[in-house]
Chain A
């Protein structure tokens, strides 16, 4: 019996050691959210003065090269997926904030006005897992202090599994140069140096129907913005907020909720709001595959307008 337990212990130790080695070794993870790692690296490397965009996939196609040229700021588009949760995303950015930084935040309407989607965002495991990958030590400490040892192990194992699959892919396809890249496997072909998505969203009709799932907003779900604003002020940084784009047809259906959201932000948000919802209400022809994704034409219009608004806001301050 003792010999048997010895072997079982040996097997367990060998697997834990293997996991530790895989964790330490650089490697990509074949998951869209692994791009958070590349975006974090960009955040660490870019020099002041910086403009950091935080939001969902609606902001991912932004043409920040244009902004860089016009405003003279280093551009960092941290946007990736609305399901990550803006509050959690801003928490990840806090340690990297520098004096003079301008943080521009937008949120897709569903993330605030659709209670089911809101609940999903703040409980989904995928987002947690990839935020863990972004700053493992910070999250590991949290898991340990909460006594969530199994969850910590599971998260690390899951991420190691992703790395192993990437190693296998690169070895089988003879890609030795990509073997020890980090983050998302195809990052350089999918994103530019500012973190914007290189390829516009494809057009797909009909656009996703939101099925009247919106309701009135709750300030407690938005209060984190003021908390971040105060943090940014202490760091001599600024927080700008803008209302996202939306198709005309959907806006007509959800107008009362969006207006309530606008009013709530005007009265309670302490940072700078640089637009009103009506500014980015576009016809359907500007949209790609969903109500949150602009096609190339729509993005050109939106980026141009947003640049103007940011310029005005900067000149006011």
Chain B
């Protein structure tokens, strides 16, 4: 089930009413059943035997889909069962002082990662081996698995690993209630695209009794509304431009490549942050607090800072389970830099089985290392140019610079192929000379003839008459969003809190505007980007 579907608007209140109507002891059953339904409904509603999607890679002419559903269900059940029993064994071995805890931990992690590899990376791996073989004049046809990919597999794999590691480290006791452990893995608001929750934080909340709290529910609903604004007013609109240009970059002048890259960078943030806000707001209705996943990343003055505010739960996971075990920053300088780059590299692989993601993440890793290497030079430059005397202006420059660097790397994130990514970055300024010359003529028809793509009924993905209104709406929505982000950043508090202190009529007017924009300016039907991860 998608959050931005009518089904979800029926599903959520029904589940919430049943949840609060039942005694606390039975509520986990409601949440687990709802989570299974949510998960299953996703496949049921988006099933199209004629269309291959990131989730449907099977061959309907050769095999019956039911087999894939069975494999899918069994694999998820197996992850839960392996986690359940291995954690208990690890805990027993650990408390007995036995050295056997570590092998069990490794078995548990390998099993979980193996499923991730089979479902998500096998085809990529096979294709890469085949490409290398053909480069070496060897024959190795790629073996492509046609299977149903479990939605959110990357998320629940990481949650499973953190559960096993935390039990191994002794920071938590193994969960003896299989239903609660299943709920930790499958809890519907975060199953498909996070946030990646830690067991210590989430599991105990399932045991706590949550009374119906009007204020909390209203706050959750407001957060959901804000998430929808981000998703359907900004992200889905920006996606139309980005999709049109990135699907055929060679058909566009540099200016359109730049516009599409900027559109994509707003799309990816508003899509994912929007999803996270809807997930957090939904969980809040049930009295469960999920972790904040984004903290105004585009207002970061540096790339490392941006990565502390972007997909916070993923980065924190890598920090705690990879970076720190590798030695973190308590090692030699070179090793520390290697650790930093490793995190970025792994984050690229996590995002998807494609070289474009690896290049994107590696570029960000390179930026982070470059910021270490150039620290002294930059400080000297700031002093020399006098920027040190105008810290606010300096900060704005740093924010703009960080944003542009992130946008540049984002080209690879969105590009369908590595070659497309390279084409775009090398052609960003193609046709600028002609554009400036045309603009100098000050003749509307000449300018129109130059900028409008001929012989196409659409312009940057929109039907030609709709292009201008849609782009104005997008620009206004981004401005409103940016202003709200800046106010929150400066005042260091959430907009919802600030609004709640205003008179009722101001609150009513503001929330009316939010609802109005969702209902009358929202686009429909686009899937969340991070579902495919």
Contact = CB atoms under 8 A, between A and B. Distances in A.
A185 B464 CA distance: 12
B466 A165 contact: yes
B135 interface: no
Interface string B464-475: 011011101100
Interface in B32-87: none
A202 B456 CA distance: 11
Interface stretch (B106-114, B360-368, B516-524): B516-524
B466 A18 contact: no
B390 to A, nearest CB: 33
A147 B515 CA distance: 28
B241 to A, nearest CB: 15
Given A31-B465, A168-B469, A172-B472, A14 B512 contact: yes
Contacts of A11: 511, 515
A30 B465 contact: yes
B373 interface: no
A168 B217 contact: no
A104 B476 CA distance: 46
Contacts of B519: 15, 18-19, 157
Given A11-B515, A31-B463, A164 B521 contact: yes
Given A22-B520, A169-B472, A172-B476, A204 B463 contact: no
B476 A168 contact: yes
B455 A166 contact: no
Interface in A216-253: none
Contacts of B217: 4
A185 B472 contact: no
Contacts of B522: 161
Interface string B414-433: 00000000000000000000
Interface in B478-532: 511-512, 515-516, 519-522
B321 to A, nearest CB: 40
Contact of B469 (A14, A30, A32, A202): A30
Interface in B1-30: 20
Contacts of B455: 202, 204, 289
A31 B454 contact: no
Given A161-B521, A172-B476, A202-B454, A15 B469 contact: no
B317 interface: no
A22 B520 CA distance: 10
A184 B521 contact: no
Given A165-B473, A204-B454, A204-B455, A14 B515 contact: yes
A161 B521 CA distance: 6
A204 B469 CA distance: 28
A145 to B, nearest CB: 23
A114 to B, nearest CB: 19
A186 B464 CA distance: 12
B520 A161 contact: yes
Nearest to B471: A169
A11 B514 CA distance: 11
A183 B38 CA distance: 42
Contacts of A168: 469, 472-473, 476
Nearest to A289: B455
A169 B214 contact: no
B463 A32 contact: yes
A60 interface: no
A31 B214 contact: no
A310 interface: no
A165 B476 contact: no
Interface string A282-312: 0000000100000000000000000000000
Contacts of A185: 465
Contact of B212 (A1, A161, A186): A1
B524 to A, nearest CB: 9
Contacts of B521: 161, 164-165
B27 to A, nearest CB: 16
A160 interface: yes
Contacts of B516: 15, 18
B520 A164 contact: yes
Contacts of A172: 472, 476
Contacts of B463: 30-32
Contacts of A14: 512, 515
A22 B472 CA distance: 19
Interface residues of A, number: 31
Nearest to B21: A1
Contacts of B212: 1
Interface string A1-13: 1011001000100
A204 B473 CA distance: 32
B218 interface: yes
A172 B512 CA distance: 21
Contacts of A202: 454-455
A202 B516 CA distance: 40
B18 to A, nearest CB: 13
Given A18-B516, A22-B520, A166 B218 contact: no
Contact of B466 (A1, A15, A31): A31
Given A22-B520, A31-B463, A4 B218 contact: yes
B238 to A, nearest CB: 15
Contacts of A19: 519-520
A73 to B, nearest CB: 30
Contacts of A30: 463, 465-466, 468-470
Given A3-B214, A4-B214, A22-B520, A166 B469 contact: yes
Contacts of B466: 30-31, 162, 165
Interface in A151-182: 157, 160-162, 164-166, 168-169, 172-173
Nearest to B468: A169
A18 B513 CA distance: 11
A162 B466 CA distance: 9
A31 B465 CA distance: 6
A15 B465 contact: no
Contacts of A162: 466
Given A14-B512, A14-B515, A184 B520 contact: no
B398 to A, nearest CB: 31
A18 B454 CA distance: 38
Contact of A186 (B214, B465, B470, B515): B465
Contact of A160 (B469, B511, B520): B520
B497 to A, nearest CB: 19
A290 B244 CA distance: 22
Interface string B200-232: 000000000000101001100000000000000
A138 B481 CA distance: 41
Contacts of A160: 520
Contacts of B476: 168, 172
Contacts of A22: 520
A4, A166, A204 pick with most chain B CB within 10 angstroms: A4
22 contacts: A1-B20, A1-B214, A4-B214, A4-B218, A7-B218, A11-B511, A14-B512, A15-B515, A15-B516, A15-B519, A18-B516, A30-B465, A30-B470, A31-B466, A164-B520, A164-B521, A168-B472, A168-B473, A172-B476, A173-B472, A184-B465, A204-B455
Closest 8 CB pairs of A and B: A165-B469, A169-B469, A164-B520, A30-B465, A30-B466, A204-B455, A30-B469, A172-B472
Given A31-B466, A165-B473, A169-B469, 12 more contacts: A3-B214, A15-B516, A18-B520, A19-B520, A30-B463, A31-B463, A157-B519, A161-B521, A168-B473, A169-B468, A173-B472, A289-B455
